[in-house]
Chains A and B, each alone.
Chain A
């Protein structure tokens, strides 16, 4: 049941996103650019932070193996 609800929820988000993409893509190219661009900037910066943690762990491991 929980899986079904999750599926329905995600499907609704997908339909809404497609709807938004079609409307803004057709009538509002700049709004569309904002939606895509903002998502991209959030994801890239989040990925940058995750990368920082990985670099940090590697550095600590390196230091650990030296000692």
Chain B
């Protein structure tokens, strides 16, 4: 703690984590959603016995397989990044954070990856029902592994289930149950998993639309389209309602995030007529929106689900942070004294008195002379308080717009799925080529929404890694700038090559489409067109109508 922290290294560590996480999350949502869509297709195959549904499961399974492999590869490095780049964070919360992370690793590698292998290569080696069970286990496994990482993230957003131990200088488990049933973790899991369902649906719908437009395997395309649109319409409703719930939970635990998300600078005590900003250009230096389009009367019910709850604005939140910072400084000084002399019970009791605000003391360190809280005196205190209080607010501009873009994408996709499902159910979808084109061109949208979702969640959590307890600025490892730049370039190149490989393979196999061949009904085991080695050849369609 005495070592001077280099802000450039912290910023580079943040950039590296943001980059690797955003890259990784390009692969994750498709896995979360596609697995359940595959399970749906296979369910229909098992119920009806129609070969075409087996072909569909195998064809979409091949595209899923490309994505899955790269998703695992990009996820692996992130697990290590906590230790290499965020060693102070890992020390501070490792006891708690490590548990769900380890379970996630076990889920991903043992359950998910094992069953993925059985799913790909077991078609001809087990009964239909047994294979279906395996496909469901893959779907469950991938979503459960996401569950554990989101439980870990839920702890960072709202640290429940842990207490700080001044003797070990780290947070320790107080309740596993509180950790896993943390409302933030729960809402996060459902929102993220369902966001994956939306992504899978958009992917299948868009590519099926392409096949219809290009007259390729319409028998398969029409059925896939039907499944994807129904899957998508229900999931979009889910992602929106659950997103609203997540925002509500955020608002209670992280008022700074909520105020930034909505660009609310001043508290409006007239809760009934308070205005909601549809569009705003927030200015941090002026502490106001330099431009805004707002709608009166809807802010309070929209955000708090009530008519009377006051939503604190950023300026008020900064003022409210000041007494916490003063307490936090006292707590940190007492903690340091206690660590120098463990028999100093006076220091321990002072620490206990202000323990809950300890994080704010940590936060003030960066503005204290030489990052030493003991050097704060009556003269420099106001300036330290001012700067620290301002630092408790995340970047408003980024938060406001990242949230808006995710939500806009959500509503657009709901409308698209709803129209597409309607025409598909009427069996008239082929009469609407514009809608098909729109479906095809909208394929990237759920990814855009997911990336902005993560930016909303993590930018909004700033300046903390563990909200209210551990600031980002003290969480990083003490690498040199050169090392960070080197590893950042390395990761960027490596991950970009993964993305390029994914895009190349996806475009290739999606364009190629489900192939007809003459090997009979799927009993061959030769690799299909050089794709997933050993994957059974797609059988000739029994209901090829075109």
Interface of A with B (CB < 8 Å)? 27-31, 33-34, 37-38, 40-42, 44-46, 48-53, 55, 59
* Distance in Å: Cβ of A54 to nearest Cβ of chain B: 10
Known: A28-B181, A37-B194, A52-B222. A46 touches B186 (CB 8 A): no
Q: A27-B177, A49-B53, A50-B44 are in contact. Are A55 and B227 (CB under 8 A)?
A: no
A30 touches B245 (CB 8 A): yes
Total chain B interface residues with beta-carbon distance under 8 A: 39
Those of B414-439 within 8 Å (CB) of chain A: 424-425, 427
The answer for the CA separation of A41 and B36 in the assembled complex, in Å, is 9
Which residues of the partner chain A approach B187 to less than 8 Å between Cβ atoms?
A: 30
Residues from chain A with Cβ under 8 Å of B229 in the complex: 48
Contacts of B227 in A (CB 8 A): 45-46, 48-49
Most buried by B among A44, A48, A52: A48
A42 and B238 contacting across the interface, CB-CB below 8 Å: no
Contact (Cβ within 8 A) A55 B177: no
In the bound complex, do residue A41 and residue B197 qualify as a contact, i.e. CB atoms below 8 Å apart?
yes
Q: Tell me if A37 and B238 are in contact (CB < 8 A).
A: yes
Are the C-beta atoms of B425 and A48 separated by less than 8 Å?
Answer: yes
Residues of A within 8 A of B181 (CB): 27-28, 31
Q: Determine chain A's interface SS by DSSP, over half rule.
A: helix
Q: A30-B245, A33-B190, A42-B36 are in contact. Are A49 and B234 (CB under 8 A)?
A: no
Contact A45 B40 (CB under 8 A): yes
Show 24 residue pairs from A and B whose CB-CB distance is below 8 angstroms, ordered by the A residue.
Answer: A27-B177, A29-B186, A30-B186, A31-B186, A33-B190, A34-B193, A34-B194, A37-B190, A38-B36, A41-B230, A41-B231, A41-B235, A42-B40, A45-B37, A45-B228, A46-B40, A48-B227, A48-B229, A48-B230, A49-B53, A49-B226, A50-B44, A50-B47, A52-B222
Q: Which residues of B are in contact with A by a Cβ distance under 8 Å?
A: 36-37, 39-41, 43-44, 47-48, 50, 53, 143, 177, 180-181, 183, 186-187, 189-190, 193-194, 197, 222-223, 226-231, 234-235, 238, 242, 245, 424-425, 427
With CB as the reference atom, state the residue of chain A lying closest to B193: A34
* Chain B residues positioned under 8 Å from A27 (CB to CB): 177, 181
Query: How far is B226's CA from A55's CA once the two chains are assembled, in angstroms?
Result: 12
In the A-B complex, the 6 residue pairs with the closest CB atoms: A30-B186, A48-B230, A45-B230, A45-B231, A27-B181, A41-B234
A67 CB → nearest B CB, Å? 16
Q: How far is the CB of A13 from chain B (nearest CB, A)?
A: 11
Q: Which of B189, B228, B427 has a CB less than 8 Å from the CB of A30?
A: B189
Complex CA gap A38/B136 in Å reads 12
Question: Cα distance A16–B230 when bound, in Å?
Answer: 29
With A45-B231, A49-B226 known, 20 other A-B pairs at CB within 8 A are A28-B181, A31-B181, A31-B186, A33-B242, A34-B194, A37-B190, A41-B197, A41-B231, A42-B39, A44-B230, A45-B226, A46-B40, A46-B44, A48-B229, A48-B230, A48-B424, A49-B44, A49-B227, A50-B44, A55-B427
B interface secondary structure, majority: helix
Tell me the complex Cα distance, A59–B426, Å: 12
Question: With A30-B187, A59-B427 known to touch, is A52 a contact of B230 (CB < 8 Å)?
Answer: no
Smallest Cβ-Cβ distance to B178: which chain A residue? A27
Residue of A whose beta carbon sits closest to that of B219: A56
Q: CB-CB < 8 A to A48: which residues of B? A: 226-227, 229-230, 424-425
Q: How far is the CB of A28 from chain B (nearest CB, A)?
A: 5
Q: A38 to B47: give the CA distance in the assembly, Å.
A: 19
- Answer whether A34 and B230 are a contact pair too, CB < 8 Å, given A27-B177, A41-B197, A42-B40: no
Task: Collect the chain A residues with CB atoms within 8 Å of residue B39's CB.
Answer: 42
Give the complex CA separation of A8 and B226 in angstroms: 36
- Select which of A30, A34, A40, A52 is within 8 A of B183 by beta carbon: A30
- Cross-chain contact B190 with A53 (CB below 8 angstroms): no
Among A42, A45, A53, which residue has the most Cβ atoms of chain B within 10 A?
A: A45
Task: Establish whether residues A52 and B193, one from each chain, have CB atoms under 8 Å apart when the complex forms.
Answer: no
* Contact (Cβ within 8 A) A52 B226: yes
| Residue from B43, B180, B190 whose CB has the most chain A CB atoms within 10 Å | B190
**Which residues of A lie under 8 Å from residue B40 when comparing CB positions?**
42, 45-46, 49
Determine whether the beta carbon of A44 is less than 8 Å from that of B223.
Answer: no
Find out whether the CB atom of A50 lies under 8 angstroms from the CB atom of B222: no
Q: Point out the residues of chain B lying under 8 angstroms from A34, CB to CB.
A: 189-190, 193-194
Chain B residues, Cβ within 8 Å of A33 = 190, 242
User: In the docked arrangement, what's the CA distance between A43 and B231, Å?
Assistant: 9
A residues near B53, Cβ cutoff 8 Å: 49
